[in-house]
């Protein structure tokens, strides 16, 4: 048999804390590489699971695999997502503590796949609830619907989630799933009207065109060919080899029924999807006074019907802007460019509000039907967070700014919770805490979110000066306000050395994961996210029941400015952090092995970046600050008792005393280990390896 040592050489260690040279990034990556080569995609950093996307079906998520990981101790089986799933579930059952599994990683790293596997694990292995067994199906079926409307093919991922998702699964006191709730974050709505080369719009459009019945398409006034729609041709890639739109359509149609959509609601929903496509094909021509006129009557006719809005109202709204001056309403005509802008803004608003409505509708369907019964109060919750990872592109804009801010917040929470749980464990075990040096990224969070002085505040302030403020005045104000901040830089503030790499319309943030340069173009507009008043009015008059729920008249009379996008996002993040803080955390860190979506390729440069962005070295350092390894006395004794005549075959006394006898016999030096209340703590991996190797002899 292969000795443990040579096996370690070949497949690496299954927990990074056992790396001898734990501060070396090279050693870390080498360990990942070895395991990846052997199709071992999972490795721990203590309780954190690191996962590398294999880009192939490894057949490791079967029912047998689920059974294998049920009820066993985390460290006694090879690392696996199901071990995380089961550990969280058992803590939820036995300690009745809410759990949260946070899944992070860059686009294409496998977050959504992991979320789906986790849900499947719970759906298949948990007992069925006494009543309302349908909730299991609903939990599973909500996913294809959300993906159809919120996912798209991008250059990085053929099924990229273009929104952040947090999902709660509620369990009753018997551990059966009885309900759920979803929170969604920042849908990338710009995709509705524009896609980069090689990318697509949201899946639902192609699914409907490919799979929709003749009758349906006729009603909606749609042609099958995606090339007919301007909103679908920009990326020039309607067909994707890994995607079967026709099949997916069937799945989505069925799923809609499972999550309680009536036939009428499906019709209303599809009317909206179709109306977005028609909107995209609305053309304008300029009259003698350069004012925009709608030239595509047919599209307007379908829009009128599908949205249930008067044709004349819609026509006027698309070509005019209503201004209220001194209490009087004035209609000011739009030129071609402004009309196209208004049209696109409407398409984005219609789509993104429909998405929000969809999430609310799914939530009603997932709401526990037992909400009124006493057992409801004793439910526990397991949350799954599938949210965008750190993003650095060639050109980074407002969206990346929001996403990276979100990652700063989650990193902060991670550090806080990890340090706290380490400290708590030391305390519980009666072992002296040895302070850990770590980088606290609170300073960057503050830079972004602080009242008055933070970047978001300054951006909001500029958004309050329409007509005067521009993206560049925003940048100037930033320069004035945060010029001495160690994590902030602009062209003006940079010294000779760094100035070259910074453009004039840019600012740079030194994130915990590295530097990112943001281009301010579009910041004000995206943060304001205004829809012209008459477009809103038109939509408020819609007779499509979904639209009339999405556009409420109270919006028109509301004197208060709606919160800006960044502020809304900030508040939803603060809420998310509170939710997560109230739960016991588990972490899955996903890594993408290459940019080609190919199996077997381990691109070291790419992976090194991710190890950095995910803060894995820092994580390992905190975990290894004191002791590499800790195990319950019972488990330790059980495994190694054969190495000592006094503990073999049975140790009759307390396990702790048995372990004391055992390690003395093995010659552990006092500085190598500590005895806690229930666990032994071993400082260096080599001590453990020597013991492990002794087993093999």
Q: Which stretch binds ligand ATP (CB under 6 A): 154-162, 173-181, 312-320, 634-642?
A: 154-162
Q: Specify whether the CB–CB gap between 364 and 260 falls below 8 A.
A: yes
Degrees to nearest 5, angle at CA 561 with 353 and 315: 55
Q: Which is nearer to ligand ATP, 17 or 101 (CB)?
A: 101
Minimal distance, residue 269 CB to ligand ATP, in Å: 23
Q: Which is nearer to ligand ATP, 240 or 472 (CB)?
A: 240
- Cα 290–chain centre separation: 45
Which of ligand ATP, Mg ion, none lies near 383, with the C-beta cut-off 5 to 8 A by kind?
A: none
Q: Which is nearer to ligand ATP, 590 or 644 (CB)?
A: 590
φ/ψ of 266, rounded to 5, equals -60, -45
Which of ligand ATP, Mg ion, none lies near 113, with the C-beta cut-off 5 to 8 A by kind?
A: ligand ATP
Site string for ligand ATP, 10-49 (x = CB under 6 A): ----------------------------------------
Contacts of 196 (CB under 8 A, 6+ apart): 155, 234, 235
Minimal distance, residue 246 CB to ligand ATP, in Å: 18
Which of Mg ion, ligand ATP, none lies near 110, with the C-beta cut-off 5 to 8 A by kind?
A: ligand ATP
The catalytic residue among 108, 280, 383, 626 is 108
- Torsion region of 443: left, alpha or beta (phi above 0 gives left; psi -120 to 50 gives alpha): alpha
Which of ligand ATP, Mg ion, none lies near 108, with the C-beta cut-off 5 to 8 A by kind?
A: ligand ATP
Contacts of 310 (CB under 8 A, 6+ apart): 304, 541
3-state helix, strand, coil in the chain (%, to 5): 50, 15, 35
Contacts of 131 (CB under 8 A, 6+ apart): 369, 370
Q: Which stretch binds ligand ATP (CB under 6 A): 105-113, 164-172, 390-398, 625-633?
A: 105-113
What do you get for the CA distance between the two ends of the chain, in Å?
A: 11
Q: Which stretch binds ligand ATP (CB under 6 A): 111-119, 405-413, 565-573, 577-585?
A: 111-119
Within residues 375-404, the interface with ligand ATP by CB under 6 A covers 388
Minimal distance, residue 65 CB to ligand ATP, in Å: 12
The catalytic residue among 87, 115, 161, 368 is 161
- 590 lies in the binding site for ligand ATP (CB under 6 A): yes
Number of residues that bind Mg ion (CB under 5 A): 3
Options 14, 33, 54, 672; binder of ligand ATP; rule CB under 6 A: 54
Q: Which is nearer to ligand ATP, 157 or 365 (CB)?
A: 157
The catalytic residue among 31, 157, 354, 418 is 157
Minimal distance, residue 590 CB to ligand ATP, in Å: 6
Q: Specify whether the CB–CB gap between 166 and 385 falls below 8 A.
A: yes
Question: Can you say whether the dihedral through the CA atoms of 53, 58, 62, 66 is positive or negative?
Answer: negative
Contacts of 649 (CB under 8 A, 6+ apart): 641, 642
Options 39, 55, 567, 577; binder of ligand ATP; rule CB under 6 A: 55
Q: Which of 166, 76, 79, 180 is nearest to 122 (CA)?
A: 180
Question: Can you say whether the dihedral through the CA atoms of 27, 28, 29, 34 is positive or negative?
Answer: positive
Options 25, 30, 113, 479; binder of ligand ATP; rule CB under 6 A: 113
Q: Is 421 a catalytic residue?
A: no
Options 12, 46, 105, 177; binder of ligand ATP; rule CB under 6 A: 105
Q: Which stretch binds Mg ion (CB under 5 A): 112-120, 311-319, 357-365, 556-564?
A: 112-120
Q: Is 407 a catalytic residue?
A: no
How many whole angstroms separate alpha carbon 38 and alpha carbon 606? 20
The catalytic residue among 106, 210, 316, 391 is 391
| Secondary structure E strands in 306-386 | 320-325, 328-333, 380-386
The catalytic residue among 39, 73, 107, 125 is 107
- Torsion region of 564: left, alpha or beta (phi above 0 gives left; psi -120 to 50 gives alpha): beta
Q: What are the residues facing 168 on neighbouring strands?
A: 181, 383
Q: Which of 269, 134, 257 is nearest to 547 (CA)?
A: 269
Query: What is the H or E stretch that residue 474 is in?
Result: helix 471-481
Options 31, 87, 99, 112; binder of ligand ATP; rule CB under 6 A: 112
Q: Which of 110, 176, 99 is nearest to 139 (CA)?
A: 176
Q: Which stretch binds Mg ion (CB under 5 A): 107-115, 268-276, 626-634, 644-652?
A: 107-115
Q: Which of 98, 95, 85 is nearest to 125 (CA)?
A: 85
HSE-CB at 59 with a 13 A cutoff on CA atoms is 0
Q: Is 107 a catalytic residue?
A: yes
Q: Specify whether the CB–CB gap between 202 and 209 falls below 8 A.
A: no
Q: Is 521 a catalytic residue?
A: no
Within residues 59-78, the interface with ligand ATP by CB under 6 A covers none
Options 51, 112, 120, 363; binder of Mg ion; rule CB under 5 A: 112
Number of residues that bind ligand ATP (CB under 6 A): 21
Options 51, 161, 299, 528; binder of Mg ion; rule CB under 5 A: 161
Query: What is the H or E stretch that residue 506 is in?
Result: strand 506-511
Q: What are the residues facing 180 on neighbouring strands?
A: 169
Q: Which stretch binds Mg ion (CB under 5 A): 110-118, 402-410, 562-570, 627-635?
A: 110-118
Q: Which of 68, 67, 75 is nearest to 42 (CA)?
A: 75
Options 12, 46, 108, 676; binder of ligand ATP; rule CB under 6 A: 108
- 161 lies in the binding site for ligand ATP (CB under 6 A): yes
Q: Which of 204, 224, 205 is nearest to 214 (CA)?
A: 224
Minimal distance, residue 503 CB to ligand ATP, in Å: 28
Minimal distance, residue 22 CB to ligand ATP, in Å: 26
How many whole angstroms separate alpha carbon 160 and alpha carbon 112? 9
Which of ligand ATP, Mg ion, none lies near 54, with the C-beta cut-off 5 to 8 A by kind?
A: ligand ATP
Q: Is 160 a catalytic residue?
A: yes
Q: Please count the other Cβ atoms lying within 10 Å of the Cβ belonging to residue 124.
A: 12
Q: Which is nearer to Mg ion, 53 or 647 (CB)?
A: 53
Which of Mg ion, ligand ATP, none lies near 275, with the C-beta cut-off 5 to 8 A by kind?
A: none
Question: Can you say whether the dihedral through the CA atoms of 303, 305, 306, 310 is positive or negative?
Answer: positive
Q: Is 112 a catalytic residue?
A: yes
Q: Is 157 a catalytic residue?
A: yes
Which of Mg ion, ligand ATP, none lies near 661, with the C-beta cut-off 5 to 8 A by kind?
A: none
Q: Which stretch binds Mg ion (CB under 5 A): 106-114, 267-275, 316-324, 363-371?
A: 106-114
Map 109-157 to HEC letters.
CCHHHHHHHHHHHHHHHCCCCCCCCHHHHHHHHHHHHHHHHHEECCCCC
Site string for ligand ATP, 339-378 (x = CB under 6 A): ----------------------------------------
Minimal distance, residue 159 CB to Mg ion, in Å: 7
Question: Can you say whether the dihedral through the CA atoms of 85, 88, 92, 98 is positive or negative?
Answer: negative
Interface with ligand ATP (CB under 6 A): 53-58, 105, 107-113, 156-157, 159-161, 388, 590
Site residues (vs Mg ion, CB under 5 A): 111-112, 161
Any idea which residues carry the catalytic annotation? Answer: 107-108, 112, 157, 160-161, 389, 391
């Amino acid at each position: 048999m292969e000795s443990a040592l040579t096996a370690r050489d070949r497949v690496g260690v299954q927990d990074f804390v056992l790396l001898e040279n734990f501060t070396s990034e090279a050693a870390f990556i080498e360990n990942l590489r070895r395991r990846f080569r052997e199709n071992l995609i999972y490795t721990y950093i203590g309780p954190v699971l690191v996962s590398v996307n294999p880009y192939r079906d490894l057949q490791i998520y079967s029912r047998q695999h689920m059974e294998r990981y049920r009820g066993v101790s985390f460290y006694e089986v090879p690392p696996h997502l199901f071990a995380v799933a089961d550990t969280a579930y058992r803590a939820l059952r036995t300690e009745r503590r809410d759990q949260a599994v946070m899944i992070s990683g860059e686009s294409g790293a496998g977050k959504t796949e992991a979320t789906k596997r986790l849900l499947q694990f719970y759906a298949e292995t948990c007992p069925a609830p006494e009543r309302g067994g349908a909730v299991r199906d609903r939990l599973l079926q909500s996913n294809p619907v959300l993906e159809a409307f919120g996912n798209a093919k991008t250059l990085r991922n053929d099924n990229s989630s273009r929104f952040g998702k947090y999902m709660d699964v509620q369990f009753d006191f018997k551990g059966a799933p009885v309900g759920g709730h979803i929170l969604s974050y920042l849908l990338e709505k710009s995709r509705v009207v524009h896609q980069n080369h090689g990318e697509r719009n949201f899946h639902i459009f192609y699914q409907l065109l490919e799979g929709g019945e003749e009758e349906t398409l006729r009603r909606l006034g749609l042609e099958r060919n995606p090339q007919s729609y301007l909103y679908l041709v920009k990326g020039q890639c309607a067909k994707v080899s890994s995607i079967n739109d026709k099949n997916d359509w069937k799945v989505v149609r069925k799923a809609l029924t499972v999550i309680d959509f009536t036939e009428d609601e499906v019709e209303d929903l599809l009317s909206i999807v179709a109306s977005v496509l028609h909107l995209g094909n609305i053309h304008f021509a300029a009259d003698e006074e350069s004012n925009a006129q709608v030239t595509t009557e047919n599209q307007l006719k379908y829009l009128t019907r599908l949205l249930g809005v008067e044709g004349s109202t819609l026509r006027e709204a698309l070509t005019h802007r209503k201004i209220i001056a001194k209490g009087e309403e004035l209609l000011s005509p739009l030129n071609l460019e402004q009309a196209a802008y208004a049209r696109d803004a409407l398409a984005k608003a219609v789509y993104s509000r429909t998405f929000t409505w969809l999430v609310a509708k799914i939530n009603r369907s997932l709401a526990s039907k037992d909400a009124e019964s006493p057992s409801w109060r004793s439910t526990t919750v397991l949350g799954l967070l599938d949210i965008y990872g750190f993003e650095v592109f060639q050109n980074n804009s407002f969206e990346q700014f929001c996403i990276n801010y979100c990652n700063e917040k989650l990193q902060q929470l991670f550090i806080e919770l990890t340090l706290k749980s380490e400290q708590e464990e030391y305390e519980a075990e009666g072992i002296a805490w040895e302070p850990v040096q770590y980088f606290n990224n609170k300073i960057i969070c503050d830079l972004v979110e602080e009242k008055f002085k933070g970047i978001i505040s300054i951006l909001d302030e500029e958004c309050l000066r329409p007509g005067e403020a521009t993206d560049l005045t925003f940048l100037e104000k930033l320069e004035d306000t945060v010029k001495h901040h160690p994590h902030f830089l602009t062209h003006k503030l940079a010294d000779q050395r760094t100035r070259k790499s910074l453009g004039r319309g840019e600012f740079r943030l030194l994130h915990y994961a590295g530097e990112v340069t943001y281009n301010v173009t579009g910041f004000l507009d995206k943060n304001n996210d205004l829809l012209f008043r008459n477009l809103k009015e038109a939509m408020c008059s819609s007779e499509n029941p979904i639209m009339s729920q999405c556009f409420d008249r109270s919006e028109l009379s509301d004197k208060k400015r709606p919160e800006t996008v960044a502020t809304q996002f900030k508040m939803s993040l603060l809420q998310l952090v509170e939710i997560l803080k109230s739960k016991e955390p588990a972490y899955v860190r996903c890594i993408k092995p290459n940019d080609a979506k190919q199996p077997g390729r381990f691109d070291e440069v790419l992976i090194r970046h991710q190890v950095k962005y995910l803060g894995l070295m820092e994580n390992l350092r905190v975990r290894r600050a004191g002791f590499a390894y800790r195990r319950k006395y019972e488990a330790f004794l059980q495994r190694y008792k054969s190495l000592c005549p006094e503990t073999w075959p049975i140790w009759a006394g307390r396990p702790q005393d048995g372990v004391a006898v055992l390690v003395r016999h093995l010659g552990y030096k006092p500085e190598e280990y500590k005895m806690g209340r229930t666990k032994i703590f071993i400082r260096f991996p080599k001590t453990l390896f020597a013991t492990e190797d002794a087993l093999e002899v």
